[in-house]
Structure 1
């Protein structure tokens, strides 16, 4: 088993419960970690034997572009797609952060973390 991380994926998106958030948008950061068997790909040196991080980045970007009220919703969608579209991923964790959230204070970011395992 091994770990692949795709860190600090920066996206501009339109998530939030406030009407203004869905109109003006915000900056987001997404971090992703997946666990998979990396021994085969280490031996074969073949992209088809691993979890392609280009695929992981694409899933994050596509799901972040679909507006939601809650970060939890977009986090779940990211995990669901990764698990359904890559049979090699056994476990995944996603962190979705809204940078400079409009919550009435000097807050750098708010972050949710969600995880999913293959059954």
Structure 2
């Protein structure tokens, strides 16, 4: 008869934070950085949630408040490209949250100034931790 041992399992989970709304000053045009615009950031991370599922302790999981804080801090730093902002966010997530194995981020500029009626433009960056 097989006995289930939690110590032998690896619980991969996903934590998503959707629709973080930020007003920031990114863009290649002087007007964009001076006036600023609305942005939306979505984050998804994969992590080993085994310990948290047993301990019920915040210190054993991915703290989405911490991720929200990272996003807001990095969005405050003006950049010409959304790709640069997205990479900074992912780099900090990996640097500051050890249990994250994969991260994917969507950074969207709402109503971009591109000469047409466009709801948003979005860049997507995903990365996997290399051990």
Partner of residue 110 from structure 1, selected from 118, 121, 129: 121
Equivalent residues in 2 for 1:37-56, closer than 5 Å: 37-56=48-67
Per the TM alignment, residue 38 of structure 1 is displaced from its structure 2 partner at its CA by 1.1
* Structure 1, unaligned runs of 5 or more: none
Q: Which has the larger radius of gyration?
A: 2
Q: 2:74 aligns with which of 63, 79, 91?
A: 63
Taking structure 1 as the reference length, the TM-score comes to 0.99
Query: Does structure 1 residue 6 correspond to structure 2 residue 17?
Result: yes
Distance 1:103 1:39 in 2: 46
- Which position in structure 2 is the counterpart of 1:25? 36
TM-score (norm 2): 0.90
Q: Give deviations 1:14-68, integer Å, cap 9, x for gaps.
A: 0000000000000000000000011210111000100100000000000000000
Correspondence for 1:72: 83
Partner in structure 2 of residue 97 of structure 1: 108
Aligned length: 119
CA RMSD of aligned residues (A): 0.4
Distance in 2 (alpha carbons) for counterparts of 1:71 and 1:23: 16
Runs of 5+ unmatched residues, structure 2: 1-11
Q: Hey, which bits of structure 1, 4+ residues long, moved more than 2 A?
A: none
